[in-house]
Structure 1
Amino acid sequence: MFSRVEFRPGYPDASCQNKQLSAITKLNLAIAGTPGTEFYPGFQPESNEIQFVKHRISAAYNSELLTLLDSRCIKTVVLAGLSTSGVILSTTRQLADMDFRIYILQDAVIDSNSTVHDVLLHSVLSSQANIMTVDAAKNML
């Protein structure tokens, strides 16, 4: 499943009390239907892959993700994408509290700060998720 951030024009769905979302609204980013909400070329979902919109940093907060997982009886998730200190951290924490089994693909996540990325993966997130490479995950299939 693929998530992307998207807001309505005028940002009625973005709280001014949320520091990260306030930065997005000030820059007039992530408005529905604009190029900034599309997947990066080469990383788009296939036509048979599910995608959903999120309005917060966590992919699980008030999005379709939990419904999509529940309806398929899925209790294990594999996380990849941007950014380690944003969506990966927030989504991992929320799903761990909901008793999901979580795998993070260390060579398929990135952060603008490599030190923060390393500390989060190996000292913080590793207490709630299994950290592994893409190749190791493929070998588990």
Structure 2
Amino acid sequence: MGFTGQCRCGQVAIDIEAQQLPPLYACHCLNCQRWSGSAFGLHLLCGAAAVRVTGEVVTYMHEHQGQTSTQSLCGVCHTRLFNETTAAPGMRVVRAGVLDGAQAWVPVAHIWTRRRQPWVVLPQGVAQWEETPTAEAFGKALFG
């Protein structure tokens, strides 16, 4: 089973090889709001080896709270596709909106809710943290 998607212009394709959809979460931090131009970012946490990319990407690196994040974007239309961070070695954080079928997926967790827009209502019973959760708590919410 796999999940596929592409950037806005179609020059870069993503294929995630997984038996089931990797866990989807919403991040309401100011960086995700600015990157997405929206109220939050929707992300899939995937093993880096499971994410295949075809096409030319460019990268942008930045430091935040002592971690380095490397953002990968389409070299043509600049759609942000995924990032890798020193906070989660061996993982890729894929932008859910670039994947086919994303409209049917529901986040299993919300982080940085302290920054959420006041009109966003979070569902009861879904894991949520005001800021960045511990790796253990986040992993338990995402992977059970």
The interval holding the TM-score normalised by the smaller chain is under 0.3
What's the TM-score, normalizing by structure 2? 0.27
Structure number having the greater helix percentage? 1
Specify the structure having the higher radius of gyration (Cα).
1
Between 1 and 2, higher relative CO (CA 8 Å, sep ≥ 6) is seen in 2
What's the TM-score, normalizing by structure 1? 0.28
Structure number having the greater strand percentage? 2
